[in-house]
Amino acid sequence: MDILEKELDLMKSLFEWIPEPLLILAPKGAILKVNRKAMEMLGYGMEELQHMGLFDLVPPEDGDAVQKVFEEMESGREVCLKISLLNPSKERTPVELVGTSDGKTFFMTLKDLREKIQMEDELEKTKKSLMEKIRERDQYARDRQALSDIYREKSKEIEKLKEEKEKLSYTDDLTGISNHRYFIQRLTEEVGRQKRYPSALSLLMIDIDYFKHYNDTNGHLAGDQALRAVALLIAHGVRDSDIVARYGGEEFAAILINTGKKESREIAERVRRSVAETGFPNERAQPNGKLTVSTGVATFSPSICTVTDLIREADKALYRAKGAGRNRVEG
C-alpha cells in the first residue's frame, strides 16, 4: 500500500512538474485532470474544471474546429490548433493547442500566445512606423529634390535677369547697340591691352550729316527711325569682332580691333557708302539731297596712346570731314 501511494505521489509530482499547461480529457471532452499551470492560465480551480468540458472553455464559433480535433486524435493523429480559451470573465486567451490520444484518454498541452501576439503586434507597429519613416524620408528627399530643382530654375532666372540687366546697362535704349558707358569701358580695356600685347587698334567717330535739319523737317519719330537705321548699317558695315556704340545724339563710334589705318579707312568708307546708298523717308529735303554720314578715323600709335588721345584725334578728323563738305571719311 505504501508503495502504491508513493507511486501515485510520484506521478502527481511529475504531472505538476510538466512546465506547459496540461489537460487530460475524456472522449467527450470532459476534463479529468489539469496541472497547476493550466489552472493558472484558465483562471479556474480544479473543482470547477472537474464539472466542465473543453467545449465550455472555447468560444461557440470554435466548437466545430475543436470537434474536428477530437476526431483526428481518435484516428491516432497528433493535432495542433490555434484557438482562444475563455476565462471565468469570458475574456479570451489565445493559445496553441497540441493534442494526442491513446484511444481512451486525450492529452492536450497549451501554449500561451499572448506574448507572441503582443510581440507580433509590436513588430507590426514597428514595421509600420519604419515604413512610415521611410516614406517620410523618401518624401523629404523628393521635396528636397523639388526645392533644389526650383532653386536651380530660380537661380537660372536670376542669372538671366542679371545678364539682361547688365546688358541693358550697356545698351542704348533707342538703337539697341552699345551705349556711351560701354564704349568707354571697352575702349579703355583695348587701350590697356596694347601695353601687354601690342597690336593694331583704330577708332571711328561717325556723325549723321544735317541730322537736326532732318529731325526738324520730318519730326522726332522719323528722326528716331533714322538713328536706328544708321546704327544697323554701321553694325553691318564693321566686323563681328568690332564694337559699335552710340556716342551721343546723332554721333556713333566704332572700335576696330586689330585694325590699322588703311583697313580702318576702308571699313569707314564701306559704312559711309552703305548709308549714302540707303533710301530714307523725305531725305531729298536734306541740304545735300540725301541722308549721309561723316567719319573721322584715329589709329593707335606712340603719339596717340590713350583713350583721350584716340577720341580727340578721331573727333578732329570728323570735324575735318564736316568742314570738307560732309559725306566723307577723314583721318
Give residue-wise pLDDT tens across range 245-289: 999 999 999 999 999 999 999 999 999 999 999 999 999 999 999
pLDDT band, very low/low/confident/very high, at 2 (cuts 50, 70, 90): low
The answer to whether residue 310 sits within a structural domain is yes
The answer to whether residue 216 sits within a structural domain is yes
Same domain, 219 and 283: yes
The answer to whether residue 28 sits within a structural domain is yes
Q: Which domain holds residue 130?
A: 124-149
The answer to whether residue 168 sits within a structural domain is no
Same domain, 129 and 78: no
The answer to whether residue 82 sits within a structural domain is yes
Task: Annotate 227-260 with b (16+ C-beta within 10 A) or e (fewer).
Answer: bebbbbbbbebbeeebbbbbbeebbbbbbbbebe
Give the total number of structural domains in the chain.
3
Same domain, 107 and 130: no
pLDDT band, very low/low/confident/very high, at 50 (cuts 50, 70, 90): confident
The letter for the amino acid at 205 is M
Same domain, 189 and 135: no
Residue 115 clears pLDDT 70, i.e. is over it? yes
The answer to whether residue 175 sits within a structural domain is no
Rounded-to-integer distance, Cα 63 and Cα 59, Å:
7
Rounded-to-integer distance, Cα 59 and Cα 27, Å:
20
Instruction: For 139-172, write each residue's pLDDT tens digit.
Output: 888 888 888 888 888 778 777 777 766 666 799 9
pLDDT at site 4: 41
pLDDT at site 15: 62
Same domain, 197 and 137: no
